[in-house]
């Protein structure tokens, strides 16, 4: 996994990580050098040889300055490496997000993705760059110092490590045996959190129905349960860690005792004995931190797993031999489609939309009109059948090419928290200011924009807060004008807009429709009376096709909807 994560960074990132490890190692070795200098100074003072003292002082100052420099370089390199790793992973995730079909983006996934981008990438950055650089340098230092100590006296060396293997064995058993308790604690935590979320979401309802007490008792018992399992986990972790550290201390004690005996029998000099006592601490350092290394490993492994989960999710297939389209008529051939985990089903859809014509999709709410537009845009893939544009299966058209041929005015207009100007420019990034204004004029929104104190520079709140539904839709039409693509998909808003707004929208739409292939999802049938073809949907099926007059004659669902709207209009007028 370590090499996999590092595989996600650039050469520069890897290089920086190595630089930071090297300089942290050098800094730690300088610490050791400093101790040796001090020991020598003490020896000089004890033996009253003052001649070398100045030399040692100068050496000490040099070491301190070098340590400072090395530490700064290591810290800087560590940050740069972390930044490279995080940036590379985020970049990969973002590129991938664009390639998923919209079916990927359900609510849970959106939450998951934001956790991944925020927390998991941060974890990976923190642990790989910041912690691993120290961990690897600690391990290298332990090897160098351990090796040196062994070369000074191998018997003392053996005593120094005597009980470490047993300690590690205990640690491994301990970690394994707590896995079950850990899982229990995590489950209890998840249950408690979901109960809290449910409680806060439904608090008004619970209050209204006087049910909050029962729920509170449930919450209390889940809190107690989580508390119990946490205690159990802490106890078991404390036990194995305690045992492990005792074995490390025993190794140190044995080394101290063996050393004392060897000094007594003149097999070890006192200075070397002191060196063992002092420097064995550096050797034990990584062993003391082994638990935090392990915890970090688990944390980064989980985060890495979640990032990989996103990166390995299947994407919209792209064709390696894209076919260029020259004609723009759209054709559905025996298409079956259903959403993930949803009852709604479209079966055997056959539909032809001629180039340059205007086709209206009508039908009750939830009958599948927006779904048809989603399929043309490959936001979702049909389970059976094909959708062709100009005789070419849309799967064989380069996806960017497909999207560049289609403008969409969506039912739920998506606006960014940016200026009005930039929001219109989404339609065509290379457009000039004049072109943006021209598009806004055609979309009948220019006058409104100019009436705002900051005009085109007015900042919109998230999702266009501050604009009415009709204004949002006209802004979206301006985008379509700017994009100027030959196919236009218009998904009218379901909610009622005021008559003035509606008239403006209608005017803008009829201008936009000129000389283009237009698919319009209409709720107000009056607006599509003149469409070349009206397709009536009901529960995912096409039930009627024809022009306005044909359909009225048929006395089917269209006539029913028409009459209902006419009556509603009359009622509305007479009210
Ligand atoms: N992303 C989705 N995931 C799951 N089910 C969906 C999704 N989008 C729509 N549906 C379901 O598919 C059915 C058809 O939806 P669709 O949006 O095509 O209806 P519509 O005809 O556009 O309705 P409206 O007139 O209300 O806009 C509905 O039952 C809806 O609940
Ligand atoms: Mg819809």
Question: 1-153+282-313 and 325-405+519-575: same fold?
Answer: no
> What CATH fold (topology level) applies to the domain 325-405+519-575?
Rossmann fold (3.40.50)
pLDDT band at 8 (very low <50, low <70, confident <90, very high): low
CA of 104 to the centre of ligand 1 (A): 15
Whether ligand 1 lies within 6 angstroms of the CB of 344 is answered as yes
**Do residues 21 and 75 make contact, with C-beta atoms less than 8 angstroms apart?**
no
What is the DSSP pairing of strand 384-389 with strand 533-538? unpaired
Per-domain boundaries in the chain? 1-153+282-313, 325-405+519-575
Specify the residue with its C-alpha closest to ligand 1, atom 9.
Answer: 371
For 430-479, the pLDDT digits (tens) are 999 999 999 999 999 999 999 988 899 988 876 555 788 888 888 999 99
For 300-321, the pLDDT digits (tens) are 888 888 888 888 877 777 778 8
pLDDT at 519 (0 to 100): 94
The token pair that represents 174 in the structure block: 């301990």
Give the strands of the sheet with 487-491, arranged side by side: 406-409, 487-491, 517-521, 358-362, 533-538, 541-546
The residue among 180, 140, 574 whose CA lies nearest residue 132 is: 140
pTM of the complete model: 0.64
Whether ligand 1 lies within 6 angstroms of the CB of 296 is answered as no
Tracing tokens 């001649």 back to the chain, one arrives at: 51
- Superfamily of the domain at 1-153+282-313: ABC transporter type 1, transmembrane domain (1.20.1560.10)
Whether ligand 1 lies within 6 angstroms of the CB of 469 is answered as no
* Ordered DSSP codes for 163-203: THHHHHHHHHHHHHHHHHHHHHHHHHHHHHHHHHHHHHHTH
> Mean pLDDT, to the nearest integer, of 527-545?
91
Question: Would the pLDDT of 137 be above 90?
Answer: yes
- Cα-based angle 523, 528, 531 (whole degrees, multiple of 5): 140
The pLDDT > 90 percentage for the chain reads 44
Tracing tokens 């201008």 back to the chain, one arrives at: 511
The token pair that represents 60 in the structure block: 């000490």
- Cα-based angle 44, 47, 48 (whole degrees, multiple of 5): 80
Distance CA 362, CA 373 (A): 12
Whether ligand 1 lies within 6 angstroms of the CB of 105 is answered as no
Residues contacting residue 182 through CB under 8 Å, at least 6 positions apart: 233
- Ligand number nearest to the C-alpha of 491: 2
């Amino acid at each position: 996994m370590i090499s996999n994560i590092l595989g996600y960074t650039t050469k520069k990132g890897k290089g920086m990580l190595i630089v930071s490890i090297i300089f942290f190692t050098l800094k730690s070795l300088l610490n050791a050098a400093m101790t040796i200098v001090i020991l020598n100074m003490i020896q000089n003072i004890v033996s009253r040889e003052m001649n070398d003292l100045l030399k040692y002082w100068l050496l000490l100052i040099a070491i301190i300055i070098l340590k400072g420099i090395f530490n700064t370089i290591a810290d800087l390199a560590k940050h740069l490496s972390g930044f490279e790793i995080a940036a590379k992973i985020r970049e990969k995730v973002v590129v991938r997000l664009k390639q998923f079909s919209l079916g990927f983006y359900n609510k849970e996934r959106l939450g998951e993705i934001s956790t991944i981008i925020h927390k998991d990438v941060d974890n990976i950055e923190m642990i790989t760059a910041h912690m691993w650089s120290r961990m690897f340098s600690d391990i290298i230092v332990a090897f160098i110092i351990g090796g040196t100590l062994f070369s000074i006296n191998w018997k003392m060396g053996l005593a120094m490590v005597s009980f470490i293997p047993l300690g590690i064995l205990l640690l491994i058993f301990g970690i394994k045996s707590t896995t079950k308790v850990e899982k229990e604690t995590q489950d209890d935590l998840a249950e408690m959190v979901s109960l809290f979320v449910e409680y806060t979401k439904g608090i008004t309802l619970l209050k209204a129905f006087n049910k909050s007490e029962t729920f509170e008792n449930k919450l209390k018992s889940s809190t107690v349960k989580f508390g119990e399992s946490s205690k159990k986990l802490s106890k078991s972790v404390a036990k194995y860690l305690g045992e492990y550290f005792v074995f490390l201390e025993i190794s140190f004690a044995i080394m101290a005792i063996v050393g004392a005996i060897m000094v007594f029998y003149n097999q070890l000099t006192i200075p070397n004995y002191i060196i063992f006592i002092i420097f064995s601490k550096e050797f034990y350092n990584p062993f003391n931190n082994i638990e935090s290394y392990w915890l970090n490993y688990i944390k980064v492994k989980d985060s890495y797993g979640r990032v990989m989960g996103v990166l390995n999710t299947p994407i919209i297939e792209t064709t390696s031999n894209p076919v260029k389209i020259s004609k723009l008529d759209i054709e559905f051939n025996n298409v079956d489609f259903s959403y993930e985990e949803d009852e709604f089903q479209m079966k055997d859809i056959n539909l032809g939309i001629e180039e340059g014509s205007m086709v209206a999709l009508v039908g009750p709410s939830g009958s599948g009109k927006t779904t048809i537009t989603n399929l043309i845009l490959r936001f979702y893939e049909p389970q059976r059948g094909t959708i062709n544009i100009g005789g070419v299966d849309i799967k064989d058209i380069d996806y960017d090419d497909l999207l560049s041929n289609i403008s969409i005015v969506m039912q739920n207009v998506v606006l960014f928290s940016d200026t009005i100007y930039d929001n219109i420019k989404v339609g065509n990034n290379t457009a000039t200011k004049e072109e943006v204004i021209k598009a806004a004029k055609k979309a009948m929104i220019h006058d409104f924009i100019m009436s705002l104190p900051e005009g085109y520079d007015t900042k919109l709140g998230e999702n266009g807060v501050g604009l009415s539904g009709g204004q949002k839709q006209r802004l979206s039409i301006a985008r379509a004008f700017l994009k100027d693509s030959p196919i236009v998909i218009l998904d009218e808003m379901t909610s009622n807009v005021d008559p003035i707004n509606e008239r403006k929208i209608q005017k803008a739409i009829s201008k936009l429709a000129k000389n283009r292939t237009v698919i319009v999802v209409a709720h107000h049938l009056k607006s599509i009376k003149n469409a070349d073809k009206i397709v009536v949907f009901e529960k995912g099926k096409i039930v009627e096709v024809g022009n306005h007059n044909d359909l009225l004659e048929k006395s089917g669902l269209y006539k029913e909807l028409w009459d209902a709207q006419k009556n509603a209009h009359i009622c509305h007028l007479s009210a």
